[in-house]
Structure 1
């Protein structure tokens, strides 16, 4: 092993460990890996940022913009109303929803497809008498399966295609080269989920006007003359028993009293930290005469000497149109890591944060200072318009049924036509995929379907940076021989069993990595290994690259393997260990279907 190989493998190992640890965001880890490779002399400084111009990176960015335009047109709302049966039972309904998610994900961003269908799926679950998670997990998995069927369906496919072009001078994979194996795997997976949705743990959830994942943590003030004033905490807990709520803490004069004794007397002006379901929360507040802390603050703002300006966002909270709604923080949302106080939520946006639900975690921080996390569920108060605008800006997904929005037929036709033209241009080889979809973005802007000022809002920049940073590192794996070294290590235990066993091993290793780290990062790491393995065996590289594409798209065992798994964690009420119950049979099925399909359509 040379120094260059040892250095690169050490950087790669550290990168994978940091990905799995999850303390730092994936794009930050990827940039750190790139800079470490440059410092070690493994990547030339002049070539360090060549990944930003890589066709796969450009194509991913353009697809995200076109997907956002397609969503805004209302075409997906119409499609979901047509495709989801209104009177069918659970099996047919789940099959239709997950099938629609797979179809959408083949041509648009996976997370976008799931976010569009979640507000449809949750009321459907209520109508069927099912726990929301039993509909949401097949929906999320279906959107992941659909992405593997086309070149543009998911970033790993674009990465694999790029490596094919670099490996042996062959052309990149075409638009539907992934379809023969991908469709076979996706259809079998959809069938399993339609029949096996009962494998999903039934987590009982409830919510007023919504669909909360467990109890919310909120703050309630004891006003003068309230029934709770003068009561002991023991007496208050007894009063809350009927509502299945409990007091977790007490704040007095802005000071938290940790683990207050049950005999402590509650005074007017105290703030109680209460954990309760939304419906129970309403009853608890009414019985004890408590007021939500955010409502008290809003009232103070309105009555003080400097009330909000009449046209200010904060003044909108005095409007009779104010409602409550529940949202979930989507992966990589702009609001993740921020607090309500930090962004001055009420004053700048006219929205109150009334409660937070965080599965399995009880924070000791004040509600308005809690740093929000991916998967958190938020109970917000404000006008429908201000909350919708706030949710769109900061990356929140509504959990209640969306307001009726009639699709704009002309707009949907324009954006749909541009999308189809871009797909056709790439599919028939008229122009490279990056050019086809860049032209599509230019067309929707020229047609006025995407405002120029919002052009880049839809781009998932952490994914773009991740891809751009890891591609030079992955290229260094090939040039230093590190990929061949890893390939030899993988081949050692399966060498006696031939290339078929090696192909299965590459598929399984890629799937395992993808369960714990970003799928694009997994593909970038495993492509050089797959090419090296095929080279060592003297067989075609295409089946091994296809195995990487399939494996990188099959993260079903954990909530951190794919953004869609994280997105349903809160609304489904799931625990970390819930995913494998449906995910493990699904991954075993993927291997069972993908292996013969790979050998049939991509012979060794």
Structure 2
């Protein structure tokens, strides 16, 4: 191997390790990989940021904007109300929800489709007296399956199409080239989900009304005269046993005592860190005379405010204050921040009462805990301030929203623009990037989306990741590193022929996608797929399609796909809960995809 090949492969290996480790965000790791390649002289400085103008990157951004406009029109709410049966049993309901998610994900951002349908699934779970996770996991997996059926359904398809254009003299995949194999895989996957949903772990919920998010971590102060004052922690835990709550820590004089001894006496003014189910939280506090810390916190900033009526926190004095649950989705603006850091109460007029982080206990004060993707938040405020806060920081509500009946004119406009853009791209009238950029311009000129909201609709970490990895992935082809990897993969399976190589590319891609971003996986594996086809002297299209399918099928972990992360908290799942349904689903994908690839894309 040449020095350039060794260096590039070392950079890619380090990138994959950092992706899997998860210490830094994927876009940060991708930029670091790009700059390392530039510093090593593998990527020319003048082309380092050419990825920002890559058609796949532009198309992804435009699709996200059009998806947001479609959601705002209310048409998806109407469609879910029509498509989801009101009185059907679990199997029919799960089939309808997963099928609708797959249909929506074929033409809009699949994270957005899942976020819209999650409250519906949670409400249905309560009606069916099922753990919410048993509806949420099939729903998330269904939305992932639907995305692989069209060019615009998921970023990996656009990445694969871009590599084909470069390798085949400018001929990219068409809008529905992914459909023959994608639909076969999606339909078989949906049928499996309808039959096998009982494989989803049944996580305990607090009654039929609970969201099943697992226990919340919250802080409660012991006021003067409270029953808890003077009791030992052992006695308090005994009193909390009926509520299935437990004390995880104690804060005294602003000093946290983790895992305090059960013989320790509790004093007035102490703060107890309690783990409890949402429905048990109220009774757990009332029985001992405790009060939520947010309700008694006497913040100096609030005291010093010139006028309480002019402070956002004044909204908390309204008689219309309610509790609401939200989940932190991937790449939400609030991820990594704390309630104290954003001055939650004073700047936004809402309280953070509790956090649910499945399987992880608090290591800091509630108000200073950095929030993570997948956390569930129990918040307090007026309906208006809660809605504004959720929109500002990108939180997903878990309560059933009021149905937004679409304005017929608005829905027709946005839907018509979307169909026109899809048609223009599908029939080859203009490139996909141009078609969807024109669609974005149309919805703005028609007044269906404010200009200031365009940039909020774009998932910038994904855009940056793609823009940074595309030049690095292209360097794999120009340096010959992709051929080296292909030869290494082919060595043990060469006697078994190209079909075995095709299956290997699919399995390797699926495995990587379970632990790193799917768009990044596609960018890394496309050069390898092209190199494998070149080494075997066969058509490259089946191998590129295998990368597209494999990059989309991340069902084993909560970090493999954004939708898996989104249901982590609401479903009460742990890291190891996904493989029970995901592993047989991935095996089914391989068994269906390989013959379908050979049928529709001959070697």
TM-score, normalised with respect to structure 1: 0.98
SS at match of 2:249: strand
User: Where does 1:136-175 land on structure 2 (aligned, <5 Å)?
Assistant: 136-175=136-175
Partner of 2:43: 43
Specify every segment of 5 or more residues in structure 2 that has no aligned partner in the other structure, as ranges. Answer: none
Counterpart of 2:225?
225
Match of 2:115 in 1: 115
1:542 maps onto 2:538 in alignment:
no
- Separation in structure 1 between the aligned mates of residue 236 and residue 600 of structure 2, nearest angstrom: 68
Q: Secondary structure at the match of 2:324?
A: strand
Matching of residues 239-318 of structure 1 within 5 Å: 239-297=239-297, 304=303, 306=305, 308-318=307-317
What is the count of residue pairs matched by the alignment? 603
Q: In 1, Cα distance between the equivalents of 2:555 and 2:76? A: 25
Deviation at 1:208, TM superposition (A): 9.2
1:433 maps to 432
Instruction: Tell me whether 1:393 sits opposite 2:379 in the alignment.
Output: no
Partners of 2:542 and 2:601 within 8 A in 1: yes
Q: CA RMSD in A?
A: 1.4
Q: Deviations over 1:314-370 (max 9, x none)?
A: 111111111001111101111110000000001111110000111111122000000
> CA distance change for structure 1 residues 82 and 106 in 2, over 3 Å: closer, same or farther?
same
Name the CA distance, whole Å, in 1 between partners of 2:31 and 2:587.
34
- 2:503 paired with 1:513: no
Give the equivalent residue in structure 2 for 1:531. Answer: 530
Unaligned runs of 5+ in 1: none
Superposition map of 1:62-461 within 5 A: 62-206=62-206, 210-297=210-297, 304=303, 306=305, 308-461=307-460
- Whole-Å separation in 2 of the counterparts to 1:204 and 1:329: 21
Q: 1:160·1:523 contact (CA, 8 Å) conserved in 2?
A: yes
* Maintained 8 Å contact 1:506/1:544: yes
Give the structure 1 partner of residue 28 of structure 2.
28
Q: Structure 1 residue 52 and structure 2 residue 46: aligned?
A: no
Is the contact between residue 326 and residue 399 of structure 1 (CA under 8 Å) also seen in structure 2? yes
CA distance in 2, matches of 1:585, 1:233: 46
Shift of the alpha carbon at 1:246?
1.2
Between the aligned partners of 1:228 and 1:208, the Cα distance in structure 2 is 30
The separation in 1 between residues aligned to 2:171 and 2:118, in whole angstroms, is 38
Q: Residues 122 and 135 of structure 1 are in contact (CA less than 8 Å); yes or no, is this contact kept in structure 2?
A: yes
Seen in structure 2, the aligned counterparts of structure 1 residues 308 and 376 have a Cα distance that, compared at 3 Å, is: farther
Q: What is the match of residue 574 of structure 2?
A: 575
Shift of 1:492: 0.8
Task: Name the SS of the counterpart of 1:551 in structure 2.
Answer: helix
CA distance in 2, matches of 1:69, 1:563: 20
| Counterpart contact for 2:132–2:212, Cα < 8 Å | no
C-alpha separation in 1, matches of 2:342 and 2:376: 18
Separation in 1, partners of 2:307, 2:247 = 33
TM-score (norm 2): 0.98
Instruction: Give 1:228 shift.
Output: 1.6
Aligned counterparts of 1:10 and 1:237: Cα–Cα separation in 2: 53
In structure 1, what is the equivalent of residue 599 of structure 2?
A: 600
**Distance apart, 1:497 and its partner CA:** 1.2
Runs of 4 or more consecutive aligned structure 1 residues displaced over 6 Å after TM superposition: 298-302
- Which deviates further from its counterpart, 211-220 or 417-426? 211-220
